[in-house]
Amino acid sequence: MSHDTLFAEVTDPANRADPYPLYARLRETPVSRQGDGSYVVSTHAAIRGLIFDPRLSSEDLPPSQRPPTGNPFKDWIVNPIKNRVVNAHRPLIFRDPPDHDTLRAIVMEQFTIPRVRGVHREVEGIVEDLIDKLQGRDEICLVEDFSYPLPVMVICRLLGVPEEDEEQFQKWATVLATALEPDSRGDEEARHATATAFDAISDYMRGLIKEKRKNPADDMLSGLANPEPGKPAMGDFDLIASAILLLVAGHETTVNLITNGMLTLIRHPEELDRLRRDPERAPRLIEELLRYEPPVHFRTRKALGDIDIAGTTIPAGAPVILLFAAGNRDPARFADPDRFDPDREDNQHFGFGGGLHYCLGAPLARIETEIALNALVRRFVAPRLLQDPPPYRPGASLRGPEKLGIGLERIA
Amino acid sequence: MSADRGVVVVGASLAGLRGAEALRRGGYAGPLTLVGDEPYQPYDRPPLSKHVLAGELRPDATALPHLVDLDATWRLGQPAVGLDRAARMLRLADGSALPYEKLLIATGARARSWPVTEKTGPLPSGIHTLRSRDDAAALRAALAAGPKRVLIVGAGLIGCEAASCCRDLGLAVTLADPNPTPLARILGSRIGGVIVSCLDTAGVDFRPGTHVDAFEADAAGRVCRARLKQGAAIETDCVIVALGATRDTGWLAEAGLMADEGGLTCDVACRALDADGQPAPGIYAAGDVARTPNPLHVGRLAAFEHWGNAVAQAGHAARNMLAAEDDQQEYRHLPAFWSSQFGINIKGVGLADGADTVAVMQGSRASRRFLAVYGREGRTIAAISFDQARWLPAYAERIEAGVAFPPILGATDQSIKDFGVPDFPQPRSR
Ligand SMILES: Cc1cc2nc3c(=O)[nH]c(=O)nc-3n(C[C@H](O)[C@H](O)[C@H](O)COP(=O)(O)OP(=O)(O)OC[C@H]3O[C@@H](n4cnc5c(N)ncnc54)[C@H](O)[C@@H]3O)c2cc1C
């Protein structure tokens, strides 16, 4: 079969459970033109070359048009203005330098390692509580019962969202999470739900920022809302966009990482055992997990100029799909790449992407996953998969199980 | 290699240490001797003009880590004073002689000192240079004593880094240079102009086009004033002379090698050349002292003063020292350096001097965050970044490939309205 339809197969839900054989075929042509004019980049070397190429832009996504409501005043006046405001203040993962750099620097100033480490205790508490609630059950769904609620609770604590609003946040996060999924666009109903949730959470954030200006606390939102004099600051629209981004971008991704982690461990019982006996193994195991089953499989960029790479010229204007998960399994970079091996040395994976858009929540994701997996293997007695492979969510980029049924002897 | 003679490395600093380690890594198990002028184990110099001056790091805290167990004989505090190539003997200051089978010369460079002649008389005290750990300790002590005004003569990398540290310490600073901007020789004045605005913001009294003529001492013999060629004077009680470096080749004067204060000339395989331009048997050189043909500037010899070059070239020389006569490989290295000053991380690759055009490819000079490339005769030869280092590897690759100038069109944050002549000063007359 010709290679120019391979990516369509990747996005086909039928291949969600095991896209890796497709990736291997894609790697035969490191930069491969697809029928729709996009270019899929799938080898480690080519991805590395491109993430450090200044001609790749992230500003290429179609503007978020609010679907018609039927109310002419809203449709002709309010929504277009809202759209314009929103599009001028896209979150930083959809921005290029220099704006991207300014925004990122301001967020990073608040997303500090001490602050992230500071939530360690809280994460432990949340994790134990979530597992305690499962006492007495012998079958659970890891996604619904554990991986899904955890990241939202954690980001809420970091941002400084009052605990009583966490439930509402869970609901918004569920709707908004799909907004980062490139192939989820188009569906009118989904767009409507996204726009509504987006407007609601924006209004909520606006209020919360006001509150944080009145009563600043030691949390990220207070820090962002009350910049030190003389330090760079962002306006309220960018602030709201950044806060929503932290919620959304850190949500589905962490859900996938934890769920894929448990799935992979149950599939490799000897590794599960070793982790249970030696929790210190978690950091290396998580790095290998980020390579082997990363939460984000690809991101799309746009070429601003003609780019010569790996024997191909990507023409200016073409969409470029950086297939990180394929680079992670490139035998030219990793020995025996399809083997899950936490003892692997020199594990330079793209599990958090790379280049200037490298995941800024990486330290938090690592901490959450470490605490979560250690607690799960410690407290789940004799876990087994109820269905293997599990059903997956439709997204090919933010790829992860929709449900992960686990049978247990008991909870310790 | 003959068992009792073995390898001798002269110069026990970055290139010497990393070269010796590369020999061991490459499987050399014979005798190994490191000869060093300074009494210290190898240490790192870049922090001296940054963290050490700022008082964040003690001068004796920059020792270089040993990456391999060397099992070597150290002759520290013992300069080599001569070389007898026919007998393959190195002469040391204490009168002893060291036989060698192969020799690695890594004597680096020393700070260009203020010329002292009969007419000028001896220099007043309070005048510093900055190259060694002892220099840094003395200068740090002088700065900690709170001088009224520090005068820095020479606005090259070290002069500018020192100026930045002095301002961080709250000291009044005058920076004097004959060129219109700092870093004129390295980056040209078009880009060097960005540093002028940094100096301004930091409150450094920058004096472009200024030639210091002489220093005057007070009754106690301490420096109190610098007289300028133009007639005026600058009151100062602490001077840093930062006029660049001369290669440490004086000890080779009688050795019959192609050596002068610009370096020891080598071939592409890092072999030292004799006066007839032939490789001298068994003698290699690496680091600041080595002057080699550079593929980026065909027909030109270049000696770098960059950390990365010292490491890479020493490794390469070691490789060739262990290889057969007919397996001497060419040293190909894209020069690269970094500097930090005024809160800006500056990084460069390639050789900018000799460029005929410079273009800002991303960002802007006004924001002090940018990436600029240098071209010569239509080829890209160098790139420099101010707080934009992440893109540098992409440009480095293209410089190595010798692509057309300007490279990488269509980048984010690119306008390319800012291009022109780099404005390098006339070459120094030697
Ligand atoms: C203050 C300062 C800051 C710097 N900052 C940077 C930076 O930010 N980035 C960067 O890329 N580079 C920087 N450099 C340059 C970098 O440190 C040099 O390129 C590097 O030290 C070169 O190593 P080398 O071993 O070749 O020479 P050197 O480090 O000069 O060592 C040569 C050694 O040989 C000894 N020697 C000399 N003559 C004899 C003799 N006759 N017998 C025995 N021993 C002898 C010397 O005493 C010295 O110890 C800086 C240099 C200085 C001085």
Residues A199-209 have a mean pLDDT of 92
**Residue A171 pLDDT grade (very low, low, confident, very high; cuts 50, 70, 90):** confident
Q: Contact B369/A98, CB-based, under 8 Å? A: yes
- What is the CATH number assigned to the segment(s) A6-411? 1.10.630.10
Residues B101-120 have a mean pLDDT of 93
**Residue A268 pLDDT grade (very low, low, confident, very high; cuts 50, 70, 90):** very high
Supply the pLDDT for residue B354: 87
Answer yes or no: are the C-beta atoms of B347 and B387 closer than 8 Å: no
Q: Which residues of B92-123 are buried (b: 16+ CB within 10 A; e: fewer)?
A: beeeeebbbbbbbbbbbbbbbebeeeeeeeeb
Which range is least confidently modeled, A268-277, A314-323, B117-126? B117-126
CA distance B65 to B48: 16
- DSSP classification of residue B185: H
ipTM of the complex, rounded to two decimals? 0.72
User: Tokens 């987006």 appear where?
Assistant: A198
Tokens of residue A194, six digits: 């996204």
Q: How far apart are the first and last CA of chain A?
A: 51
Q: For chain B, what is the radius of gyration of the CA atoms? A: 22
Answer yes or no: are the C-beta atoms of A203 and A143 closer than 8 Å: no
pLDDT tens readout for residues A104-130: 999 999 988 888 888 899 999 999 999
For B381, the 3-state DSSP assignment is: strand
Residues B204-216 have a mean pLDDT of 96
* β-sheet with B173-176: strand ranges across: B127-128, B238-241, B150-153, B173-176, B205-207
> Domain ranges in chain B?
7-111+246-327, 127-243, 343-420
For A106, the 3-state DSSP assignment is: helix
User: Tokens 């405001």 appear where?
Assistant: A85
Fold matches, B127-243 and B343-420: no
CATH class of B7-111+246-327: alpha beta
pTM for this predicted structure: 0.85
**Residue A182 pLDDT grade (very low, low, confident, very high; cuts 50, 70, 90):** low
Q: Contact A305/B369, CB-based, under 8 Å? A: no
Pick the CATH number of B127-243 from 3.30.1120.10, 3.40.50.1000, 3.90.105.10, 3.50.50.60: 3.50.50.60
**Residue B1 pLDDT grade (very low, low, confident, very high; cuts 50, 70, 90):** low
CA distance B83 to B105: 11
CA distance A231 to B425: 37
Pocket of ligand 1 (CB under 6 A): B 10-16, 35-38, 45-46, 48-49, 79-80, 106-109, 130-131, 158, 248, 251, 287-289, 305-308, 310, 337-339
**Residue A215 pLDDT grade (very low, low, confident, very high; cuts 50, 70, 90):** very high
- In this structure, the number of other CB atoms found within 10 A of the CB of residue B426 comes to 6
Mean pLDDT of chain B: 94
Q: For chain A, what is the radius of gyration of the CA atoms? A: 21
CA distance B360 to B370: 7
Best residue among B37, B98, B304, B392 to mutate for probing ligand 1, ranked by most atoms within 8 Å of CB:
B37
- What is the CATH number assigned to the segment(s) B343-420? 3.30.390.30
pLDDT tens readout for residues B160-171: 999 999 999 999
Q: Contact B410/A304, CB-based, under 8 Å? A: yes
Answer yes or no: are the C-beta atoms of A394 and A22 closer than 8 Å: no
Supply the pLDDT for residue A2: 63
- DSSP classification of residue A75: I
Tokens of residue A271, six digits: 């590794």
> Domain ranges in chain A?
6-411
Bridge partners of A391?
none
Best residue among B307, B334, B342, B351 to mutate for probing ligand 1, ranked by most atoms within 8 Å of CB:
B307
Tokens of residue B265, six digits: 């000339």
CA distance A331 to B401: 27
Question: With a CB-CB cutoff of 8 Å, which residues 357-386 of chain B face chain A?
Answer: 361-363, 367, 369, 371
Q: Contact B394/A305, CB-based, under 8 Å? A: no
Supply the pLDDT for residue A231: 87
**Residue B428 pLDDT grade (very low, low, confident, very high; cuts 50, 70, 90):** low
More reliable by pLDDT, B408 or A266: A266
Q: Does B343 touch chain A (CB under 8 A)?
A: no
**Residue A71 pLDDT grade (very low, low, confident, very high; cuts 50, 70, 90):** confident
CA nearest neighbour of A224 among A214, A237, A209: A209
Q: How far is CA B329 from the centre of its chain?
A: 25
Residues B299-311 have a mean pLDDT of 91
**Residue A279 pLDDT grade (very low, low, confident, very high; cuts 50, 70, 90):** very high
- In this structure, the number of other CB atoms found within 10 A of the CB of residue B354 comes to 17
For B293, the 3-state DSSP assignment is: strand
Q: Per the omega criterion (within 30 degrees of 0), is the bond before A315 cis?
A: no
pLDDT tens readout for residues A235-248: 999 999 999 998 88
Supply the pLDDT for residue A185: 52
**Residue B430 pLDDT grade (very low, low, confident, very high; cuts 50, 70, 90):** very low
